[in-house]
Amino acid sequence: MALRAIMLKKKIDDKKKELEALRAKDADFEKREADLESSINEAETDEEKAAVEDEVGKFDEEKRAHDEAKTNLEGEVGDLEAELKGIEEADEARAKVVPATEERTKEMNVEHTVEGNKTERKHGFDMIMQREDVKAWLGEIRAHIKEKREMTNVGLTIPEVFLGMLRQNIERYSKLYRHVNVRPVNGTAREVIMGSVPEGVWTECCANLNELSLVFNDVEADCYKVGGYFKVCNAALEDNDVQLASNILECIGEAIGLALDKAILYGKNGVNTQKMPQGIMSRLVQTSKPDSYPATAREWVDLHTSNIRTIGSSVLPVGGIDLYKDIVKESSAIKGKYARGRKTWVMNEKTYTDLVAEGMSINAAGVIVSATNGTMPVLGGDLEVLDFIPDGVIIGGYFELYLLAERAGTRFAQSEHAYFVQDQTVFKGTARYDGQPVIAEAFMAIGINGATPTATMTFASDTANQGA
């Protein structure tokens, strides 16, 4: 039951952090409410009153969702704490029963000497690790786990001297999730897009008004699942000091985040049976309207030339201020008429380092400040480093105009039932999303010094469903 208690404590800590983040927004809602009350009192014309009513409606909706989220989290924390309390009480009750091996345990934790006062035994753990039968047993466990292709060298999590576990520094869990437009949905989902605002028509004061034309379009969201599982020998879980189960779930969450980031940028949207959202690059490289393009969607536009650009070449590279001038000029292809935030740029670490180095010849202080603040040097805007992006490729735009329909966020589970006979525990994680750039011209890709941006990207193979 100790493993279950560890898992519950981690869940409780995570939920409390989410709850604290929500409660931190209470002051902002109170300020907005006070501002709206002042605006209501100040509104005089019908137009001003209508605008205020619209803002009040939006505020009430956001406040309702905020309060509901807090209530749900408080309930989840309460349920988890009650379950943890029950487990701890059960463990305490079992601890009162003296185990049959107590005397043996005490013996192994006592130092005693023989022949010339030489120490024959150390404290229990060290002594256990020195026994030949234990060494052989650990060797068998390591060999058993190593045979599982999903996890390599898991035997190393049972060390003689525990120094901790070194893990990849991956943001929890997706780097792009916070930049895109995430919409929780159930069933069929549709986002309506208003067309361009028409220009009013001038005429005589007493003449008839002209009818204006306003078009509405939409995008629909499907459902795709991302996730995976690990099988772990129960002995490995019971006999290590690494909190292995917790780390495994963290790795599953990060694996889902990596797959989600890849899909946002390079997702195939069903092409060649690859079931995932449509990525930004996959839309930009299209040279003709797909047969499946909805009739109610916005007019399809060919962007593979205007919004995919290359600067310089491997033979004639461009650097320094000329490179940044070209990037600024090319980035004018990004259209932000529907955006309210600022641009986001993504690239791998080598490309980012090259940009910083080239920028130092312009204004070293400004570039260094940008680097430490996580913003794009010279151009400004948020910057994320994703190492699966090819060298020399920069993808940028208004990521809030990428719709990520979230049907179910990341969920974890564990079970011993599926592999009960094999004495293994399965840890799994799943998430369900769909997504696409709803305003495709709000994005672009730039290749520098010979790099050509493409939609080519390798995703993990769906071997579990091949031939199904």
Banded model confidence at residue 164, pLDDT cuts 50, 70, 90: very low
Mean pLDDT of 266-278: 81
Whether residues 238 and 379 share a domain: the answer is yes
- Domain termination site, one of 33, 61, 93: 93
Whether residues 86 and 225 share a domain: the answer is no
pLDDT value, residue 368: 52
Q: What percent of the chain has pLDDT over 90?
A: 20
User: What's the longest Cα–Cα distance across the chain?
Assistant: 119
pTM above 0.85, yes or no: no
How far apart CA 15 and CA 362 sit, in angstroms, is 46
Mean pLDDT of 274-288: 92
- Domain assignment present for residue 116? The answer is no
Whether 253 contacts 442, CB under 8 Å:
no
Higher pLDDT, 162 or 35: 35
- Domain assignment present for residue 311? The answer is yes
Whether residues 88 and 225 share a domain: the answer is no
Domain encompassing residue 12: 1-22+81-93
pLDDT in tens, 342-383: 899 999 999 998 888 887 766 655 555 555 567 888 788 899
Whether residues 86 and 232 share a domain: the answer is no
Residue 430: its H or E element = strand 424-437
pLDDT in tens, 69-103: 888 888 888 878 877 777 776 666 555 544 443 44
Determine the Cα angle at 402 with ends 398 and 403, to 5°.
Answer: 145
Higher pLDDT, 227 or 441: 441
Mean pLDDT of 40-52: 81
Whether 215 contacts 420, CB under 8 Å:
no
CATH code of the domain containing 358:
3.90.1690
Q: Which two tokens stand for residue 409?
A: 């966020």
- Domain assignment present for residue 183? The answer is no
Q: Which two tokens stand for residue 361?
A: 């010849």
Q: What percent of the chain has pLDDT over 70?
A: 69
- Domain assignment present for residue 141? The answer is no
- Domain termination site, one of 93, 117, 137: 93
pLDDT value, residue 338: 86
Q: How far is CA 116 from CA 28, 110, 112, in A?
A: 74, 18, 12
- Domain termination site, one of 39, 58, 93: 93
Q: How far is CA 4 from CA 11, 38, 237, 245, 449, in A?
A: 11, 52, 11, 9, 53
Q: Tokens 């390599």 label which residue?
A: 152
- Domain assignment present for residue 109? The answer is no
Whether residues 367 and 230 share a domain: the answer is yes
pLDDT value, residue 130: 59
My answer on whether omega of the bond before 293 falls inside 30° of 0, hence cis, is no
- Domain assignment present for residue 158? The answer is no
- Domain assignment present for residue 397? The answer is yes
- Domain assignment present for residue 58? The answer is no
Banded model confidence at residue 62, pLDDT cuts 50, 70, 90: confident
Q: Quote the number of domains for the chain.
A: 2
Provide the residue type at 356 as one letter: V
